[in-house]
Amino acid sequence: MGPSLLGATVLLCLVGALQAFAIEKKGDVFKKTACPAFLTFENVAYLADMTFELPCKCKPEEVSSVVWYFQKNLRGHETAVLTDFNGTVVLDSSHVRAGSDLLKRFSIRMFSLIVFRAQGRDSGHYLCGSKEGHFFYGYDVDVQPTERIAVAFLDGGQHVRDDYAAEQFSLFTTFWDWSGCDRCGVRGEQRRVGLCYVQSAQLSPRYRTSLPNVTSCGSRAVPAGFPPLLHLRSPEVAVRSCLAPCPPREEPEEGVQSISNIVYKFGEKPDPSRTDLVIACPGARPEHTVGWDKDSLRLYRSQYLVGVGKGMRVFIDHGNHLHILRVRRRDRGTYFCWRDGQMVAGFRLSVTFPVQRRRGPADPESIFVMRAVGIGFGVIAGIFFLAHLGRCCWWALRKPAKL
């Protein structure tokens, strides 16, 4: 047995042992965690376009596989089954688009449900159970949209919003921790995502939250008589400048070479003047810290984040994608993306306009133009002829007759 084959055999044995160990540890967790006698729903909230994971926190020990169910409303009769009964569905998140169907945007790994690029329509109840219809654990998922998100640039003196108080409830923003700096060695930016939460004594007791009488604004625990809370208060994002040193590299030239190898010609469109481009940073998700540069120009969020200005043609959305609307010649160049403080990829954009073909005389539009020009010329020539004819007749009548 050669050394390479021996190494591969050892590696496979190690992977199998680690997988068995992970399953055994999972089994220990299920032995210690008893399923509730009365099914309740744990409230969790995310921002749109984010990928989230829902672990099945309890199940009977004899159950070897679980089935996930989705219900928009508990009283509704429509239930989506998010797995087949033969195993799990493995997806590559880079191939999943935001507009894909929910059944194409999920994966089940180690009894946990993973939803890629969640959208507002994915909000609802997720239940971990068996194929016989027994439910073990439930989640109340609130995916808050980004269309009306409020952005505060702290460097410019802007502030996050104050709390909102009403008679039956109060609204506030719960912020996550600050992200890391999106660039290293140069001035960068970091952001802090905040989601809308409500505090009220009238929340449904069937929903479990981290704090008593507090849940996310899109939760099903909010009484139906309350107004739509997400219309009263949208999610928030705070942005500030940062400066982080680059980590030392043992072989700096190797890092530079790896970036230059990724730089490629993005493509030529047949009609760039009507083309909109959306560029994604490889391996980046909305929860990552991503920065964009064009050649030596830094595309900071304080200037290029969507919604900062009206009629923006080049902007960065809240999912870290770079948008270029109505591509023009001056958009040509190399675009670099940073992920979690390190430059990871570059895209060389080439813009070429197609050669316009001349239309022959048999073209209907050309015939129409030529006919219109001919008719107009004929009318003008006729008026000019009649005018001169009338003038000659008038002079002829005024001339005295010779004897």
Name the CATH superfamily for 252-349: Immunoglobulins (2.60.40.10)
Of 354, 357, 350, 356, whose CA–CA distance to 268 is shortest? 350
pLDDT given for residue 92 in this prediction: 45
CATH 2.60.40.10 is held by the domain 24-144: yes
> Residue 127, CB half-sphere, CA atoms under 13 Å: how many?
19
> Do the two domains 24-144 and 252-349 of this chain adopt the same fold?
yes
What phi and psi, each to the nearest 5 degrees, are found at residue 232? -80, -30
Distance CA 368, CA 221 (A): 66
Domain spans of the chain? 24-144, 150-243, 252-349
**159 to 73, 228, 238: CA distances (angstroms):** 36, 24, 8
Give the residues of the chain that fall short of pLDDT 50. Answer: 1, 3-27, 29-30, 84-96, 100, 252-257, 260-266, 268-270, 403
For Cα atoms 12, 14, 18, give the angle at the middle one, nearest 5 degrees: 120
Lay out the sheet containing 342-349: strands in order across. Answer: 297-299, 290-294, 333-339, 342-349
pLDDT in tens, 194-247: 999 999 999 999 999 889 999 999 999 999 889 999 999 999 999 999 999 998
Distant-in-sequence, close-in-space partners of 345: CB < 8 Å, separation ≥ 6: 259, 262, 263, 281, 282, 336, 337
Q: What pLDDT is attached to residue 83?
A: 61
- The pLDDT tens digits of the residues spanning 252-272 come to 444 444 554 444 444 544 455
Q: List CB contacts of 231: < 8 A, sequence separation 6 or more.
A: none
What pLDDT was estimated at residue 46?
93
Whether pTM > 0.75 for this model: the answer is no
